[in-house]
Amino acid sequence: MTDRPGGGISHLHIETVDHDGVVVMVVSGDIDITNVNQARVAVEEQMNHHPEGIVVCLAVGFFASTGLSLLAEANQRARLAGIGFAVVAPGRTTRRALEATGLDQVLLLHETVPHAVEALRTSSAAEQTIL
């Protein structure tokens, strides 16, 4: 929990679950400038374990532009490391922010966690077949 600009309180909670090599990070609360580094560190820690893939599920109430930047950076870092990366954006507001910035064209964006996990597994299996 951190102080939010304007005097409010910003809550951020990240739950991480391993789905047989694909890490699912459920992010809830708010992502803003006061706590984006907490989210960044959590994503980086998971990438350091070199999972098959990472799914970030945005179950957030408030999603500032710093969160959008975080997703773009994480996606790029995952690609360079050969780690699959997908985003689940179940909320309309979050999905609209991704669409308005064009990130929906860059990120693997899914409606549900099971769809995202399956997409990363399918993508990973296809890459292994090619190699």
Token reading at 127 = 């890459």
What angle, 0 to 180 degrees and rounded to 10, lies between the N-to-C axes of helices 92-100 and 65-81? 70
Give me 92's structure tokens.
Answer: 């309309």
**For 45-51, what is the mean pLDDT?**
96
Residue 6 clears pLDDT 80, i.e. is over it: no
CATH architecture for residues 2-130:
2-Layer Sandwich (3.30)
Q: Summarize the confidence of residues 84-95 as an average pLDDT.
A: 93
Beta bridge partners of 87: 56, 109
Q: Is the pLDDT of residue 2 over 50?
A: no
Sequence ranges of the domains in the chain: 2-130
Which pLDDT belongs to residue 122?
A: 87
Backbone angles phi, psi at 90, to 5 degrees: -75, -25
pLDDT tens column, 60-80? 999 999 999 999 999 999 999
Query: Alpha helices, DSSP H only, in 8-112?
Result: 36-48, 65-81, 92-100
Q: Cα(110)–Cα(84) distance, rounded to whole angstroms?
A: 13
In the prediction, which pLDDT does 123 show? 80
Confidence category of residue 128, pLDDT binned at 50, 70, 90: very low
pLDDT value at 101 more than 50: yes
**Mean pLDDT over the full length of the chain:** 89
Q: Inform me whether the pLDDT recorded for 116 exceeds 60.
A: yes
pLDDT at 129 over 70: no
Q: Lowest-pLDDT range, 1-10, 28-37, 91-100?
A: 1-10
